[in-house]
Chains A and B, each alone.
Chain A
Amino acid sequence: ETGVTQTPRHLVMGMTNKKSLKCEQHLGHNAMYWYKQSAKKPLELMFVYNFKEQTENNSVPSRFSPECPNSSHLFLHLHTLQPEDSALYLCASSQDERARSYEQYFGPGTRLTVT
């Protein structure tokens, strides 16, 4: 049990669908992250939230829309995705964005397939 949960674990969606990914952390952390993991590519940071405020948007297309209603929950809203968006989407949390050791704890990921 990592303390960071993600739902759903697997998602297949068409390009015209709208869906949301959910992440929840039970570690009392204040920073949360979305990463994209594609085959044979380094892990790509997408968004960072610190104390519910977005502090980083790594040039992510607007078809990905994050939401952080509180420090424990993070969502990624998806609409009009492309097949190249198929990937494993990982959520992570850390004590805060500037935590000295910067230990991030990862969820198991959502495997997204866009058809």
Chain B
Amino acid sequence: GEDVEQSLFLSVREGDSSVINCTYTDSSSTYLYWYKQEPGAGLQLLTYIFSNMDMKQDQRLTVLLNKKDKHLSLRIADTQTGDSAIYFCAESIMDSSYKLIFGSGTRLLVRP
């Protein structure tokens, strides 16, 4: 079946690194995504990784993919108060319509 799981909440101090974790079940995933949702706003695509990659780095963001364990993580270096938001992990399933399956989201709170 298709299922994406994330922890609900993470609190870090400003300047520290944040690591948000995600597990998924469908081994036919082609792409895995991280979206950010700020209060009152829609989802913003932060980054994505193709399923044959192990790591992708984009400025302060590092995505790690362990395909064997079906585990995806997002590391935010030097976390800022503006990073406080809900972060959604999502996988695209290679079936007839390439639909996205989202996790429930992890609320990141950055303390000054």
SS class, residues of chain B in contact with chain A:
strand
Nearest A residue to B6 by beta-carbon distance? A42
Within 8 Å by CB of B42, from A40, A90, A101, A102, lies A90
If A40-B104, A41-B104, A43-B88 touch, does A56 touch B45 (CB 8 Å cutoff)?
A: no
Q: A109 and B99 in contact (CB under 8 A), knowing A42-B104, A43-B88, A101-B48?
A: no
- Shortest distance from the beta carbon of B51 to any chain A beta carbon, whole Å: 12
Distance of B32 from chain A, by nearest CB (Å): 11
Report if A4-B42 is in contact (Cβ < 8 Å); known contacts: A101-B31, A102-B31. yes
B100 touches A102 (CB 8 A): yes
A2-B44, A42-B4, A108-B41 in contact; A98/B104 too (CB < 8 A)? Answer: no
B43, CB-defined interface residue at 8 Å: yes
A55 within 8 A of B: yes
**Contacting residues, chain A, for B101 (C-beta < 8 A):** 42
Asked if B42 and A2 sit within 8 Å, CB to CB, the answer is yes
Q: How far is the CA of A59 from the CA of B41 in the complex (A)?
A: 26
Known: A40-B104, A42-B103, A103-B48. A98 touches B98 (CB 8 A): yes
Nearest CB in chain B to that of A106: its residue: B42
Q: What CA separation (Å) do A4 and B42 show in the bound complex?
A: 10
Residue of B nearest to A108 (CB): B42
Q: A2-B44, A109-B41 are in contact. List 13 more A-B contacts (CB 8 A).
A: A6-B42, A42-B104, A48-B99, A55-B97, A56-B99, A90-B43, A101-B48, A102-B98, A102-B100, A105-B45, A106-B42, A108-B41, A109-B42
Residue ranges of B at the interface with A (Cβ–Cβ < 8 Å): 4, 8, 30-31, 35, 40-45, 48, 88, 92, 97-105
User: What are 10 inter-chain pairs, A to B, with CB distance below 8 A?
Assistant: A42-B105, A43-B102, A45-B99, A55-B97, A56-B97, A90-B43, A92-B43, A101-B48, A108-B41, A108-B42
